[in-house]
Amino acid sequence: MSANRASLTAACCIALSALWPWHLYTALPGAGVRLTDLLCAALVAAAVVDAVRARSLRLPFELAWPAALVAVLLIIAHGTNAQASRPIAALIVFAAGVQAMRDPRVVRTAIAAAAFSVALSALVSPMLESVRIMPTAYALSAPAVMYGPRSLSEGFWMYLAGAACGLAVALDAAHPPRLRQYGAAASVIAITAVGRPAYALIVAAPVWEPPALLSQGAVQAAATVVGAWLIARVGARLIVASQDRRAWGPLAIAAGVGAWAVSRAVDTGLEVAPHEGFLLAVAVAAARVSGERRQHVPRWVWPALAASGLLVAWGAVHVDPHQTDDPRHYEARVAADLRAGDVEQARARLVRVQEFAAFDRRLRLCWARTELAAGRLREAALHLAAALAPLDEERRQTLPVPTPEVWRPLLADVRDAVSADGDPAAVMAYAYALAAAGEAEGAVDLLGERMAALPPPDGVDPTPVAALLAALFDEPGLADAIAQWPKERLWGAAAAMGVCASQVAVSSGPASVPSAVALAVVYGYDEVAWVAALPAGATSGRLRLTGAPETASPGVPRSVVWLAAPDEDRGADQRFLLVAQPGGERLATLRMHGDRVAVTTSGGDVAARLPVGWCMLLLSPDAERGAAGLDADARSVGLEDGT
Amino acid sequence: MRNAVERMRAERRWTGAVLIALALAALLLRAALAALSGSISVPLR
């Protein structure tokens, strides 16, 4: 092997060792491939060139025959599908790794890189969880989450392997004393992180199942036995090497290999990844009693690793939508649940994912698909509306914002289901979705056609209701057209929107809200659904939908009142609090700075929590009429029981 | 230090022992997990 190629393969090996715990985060943006897989491919290419040039395979025969036999048996059992191709790829990378790693120093450095990388993963995971980054592994209704492994059971093994590598570093006399201390520390960090995946492993086995071996076909069972023999042989080599060298390091590596084998036997659903073949090759190389040709670790590998750390950081907060095998790709997981007909699992998954991707528009689309599959049309349409509605500020999205090609078919599906069903609430929700999709006029027309007529209360001015309907469709300019509808139809539409609900409390608005701003407070029997601020009389502009507070007590008819917040007045920046009555919880804060108005609530997710029965209170603050005028205005909306 | 042939023999002996140990560990762990999970019962992924 030329010096350059030897250095390159050494660099490949060390980079793979350092990056495997972050495998899922190494997707190269736009390339559709992960860096770890590329490194595996590079390692295989280098090993092939080396084997051809040297005309020798460095994989010992006693390891080569079980590896080859497993590959043949897998092909016989499964053909060339993913179930066979992934383990075979791992076996090829295994052979290439054994061929590539020649110098004991490279092996030692690779083991140290793996140990510190796993320890870093254990240290970083709680930080990622605290900032609500989407985990790669999670339990559906248990609090355990992990960052890096594909499942919690894999994380269990990953930390054990990291601890074993750290121990090997600590016990290797060839390392400088400082590095051995760090190795021991890495081992302790990794072993303390095992607790959470261990808990997950405990809950992962709900019923006793016979060993998978018995339920497989004969050929697959033979492949499993031969594979186990291969693993055991590697373990035996490490034990014998430990005896020969009178060193504990190889024994620690053997423990890591054993942990891998046991974790696979316990959780048979795990797929083998190519980089796992490389890790087995590291174990084989660690068992070598004497090093052969000298192979230098190039210095540039460390800055290159630091640079790939940036890729990992990017990958931790961005999921490539094409990498559907990424467990964070919740859309693919939910689609699989729905294909399997397991709507409940899809819902449980969405609830769990929502903790980490509350503002993801694709998550709303997934909710819409799931609710549609469950036959809950109104909820499906509301989720679709939430997925498409413009936001005041764009939040970080785990998966990219859906394109029209993605949501249009779903909108069509919801339309078909809603028109077949005919439920007015579902029609109303679909109208929201249409408006959010930029077809407000179509939404208003739909309402005009489909809503049942209701007799209007006596002496009620339809103008504020029309303005509110138009505003809720984000098209204030349509208010005049809606006001021209026959009153019965307008009231029918308003009733479907929940404008006329049975429980009403009139509140006074903040007196000094400028007349250029109208406020709409939409609340239900049990919670405020949203607070909206919109420019009064504006022909365009966004209705600012904000979240629902978490604090409301369910089932209690409530009203709201605006209170000035004198302590927080700062110059031109005035604040008002929207307070629930009874209860006194602060539901929202209104901030005014000059002409700008912002309403924020105590958080929550609007579309997921829209109440069944709403009340609506329209406040049209007018500087000339004052607070009394507001009361009158609110009453004039006619919020008696019109449903 | 053993020579290559002795080492090979030792490895072969150890392979059987490791295989049995792994199989036993896997079986015991599965049984233990199944027993424990019966009392905890939290659905997972």
Give the model confidence (pLDDT) of A171-222 as tens digits: 988 889 999 999 999 999 999 988 877 776 666 554 445 555 566 778 888 8
Residues of chain B in contact with residue A136, where contact means CB-CB under 8 angstroms, are none
Residue of A nearest to B31 (CA): A208
| Cross-chain Cβ contact A348/B29 below 8 Å | no
Q: What does the pLDDT average to over A381-405?
A: 79
Q: Does residue B35 fall inside a structural domain?
A: no
Q: Does residue B11 fall inside a structural domain?
A: yes
Residue of B nearest to A266 (CA): B30
Provide the shortest C-alpha distance from residue B35 to chain A (in Å): 8
Both A68 and A165 in one domain: the answer is yes
Residues of chain A in contact with residue B28, where contact means CB-CB under 8 angstroms, are none
Edge-to-edge order in the sheet of strand A559-564: A559-564, A573-581, A586-593, A596-601
Q: Does residue A496 fall inside a structural domain?
A: no
What three-state secondary structure class fits A582? coil
Q: Does residue A598 fall inside a structural domain?
A: yes
Q: Does residue B5 fall inside a structural domain?
A: yes
CB of A243 within 8 Å of a chain B CB? The answer is yes
Q: Does residue B4 fall inside a structural domain?
A: yes
Structural domain count of chain B: 1
Q: Does residue A354 fall inside a structural domain?
A: yes
Q: Does residue B36 fall inside a structural domain?
A: no
Both A185 and A303 in one domain: the answer is yes
Both A563 and A417 in one domain: the answer is no
Show Cβ contacts of residue A199 under 8 Å, excluding neighbours closer than 6 positions.
A142, A144
> Among the listed ranges A44-58, A204-218, A596-610, which one has the minimum average pLDDT value?
A596-610
Helix orientation angle between A361-373 and A404-421, rounded to the nearest 10 degrees: 30
What is d(CA A335, CA A472) in angstroms, rounded to the nearest whole number? 31
Q: What does the pLDDT average to over A263-291?
A: 82
Q: Does residue B9 fall inside a structural domain?
A: yes
| Cross-chain Cβ contact A205/B33 below 8 Å | yes
Both A349 and A387 in one domain: the answer is yes
Residues of chain A in contact with residue B30, where contact means CB-CB under 8 angstroms, are 205, 208-209, 211, 265-266
Both A436 and A532 in one domain: the answer is no
Residue of B nearest to A262 (CA): B26
CB of A140 within 8 Å of a chain B CB? The answer is yes
Both A522 and A427 in one domain: the answer is no
Structural domain count of chain A: 3
> Among the listed ranges A295-299, A325-329, B20-24, which one has the minimum average pLDDT value?
A295-299
Give the up-direction half-sphere exposure of residue A434: CA atoms within 13 A in the CB hemisphere: 21
pLDDT for A610: 32
- How large is the ipTM? 0.85
Both A47 and A133 in one domain: the answer is yes
pLDDT, tens digit, 9 for 90 and up, residues A116-143: 999 999 999 989 888 888 899 887 766 7
| Cross-chain Cβ contact A236/B26 below 8 Å | no
Provide the shortest C-alpha distance from residue A340 to chain B (in Å): 14
Q: Which among B11, B36, B43 has the least Cβ separation from residue A240? A: B11
Where does the pLDDT of residue A115 fall: very low under 50, low under 70, confident under 90, or very high at 90 and above?
Answer: very high
Helix, strand, coil percentages in chain A from 3-state DSSP, rounded to 5: 55, 10, 35
Domain containing B12 equals 1-26
Q: Does residue A465 fall inside a structural domain?
A: no
CB of A352 within 8 Å of a chain B CB? The answer is no
Q: Does residue A464 fall inside a structural domain?
A: no
Assigned token pair, A230 = 């291969």
| Domain termination residue (choose one: A405, A426, A450) | A450
Provide the shortest C-alpha distance from residue B5 to chain A (in Å): 12
| Domain termination residue (choose one: A421, A450, A479) | A450
Count of C-beta atoms within a 10 Å radius of residue A472: 24
Q: What does the pLDDT average to over B12-40?
A: 80
Both A185 and A258 in one domain: the answer is yes
- Nearest partner of A112 among A50, A47, A56, A180, judged by Cα: A180
Residue-averaged pLDDT of chain A: 75
Assigned token pair, A272 = 């083998």
Q: What does the pLDDT average to over A466-484?
A: 71
Both A277 and A214 in one domain: the answer is yes
CB of A336 within 8 Å of a chain B CB? The answer is no
Domain containing A311 equals 3-317
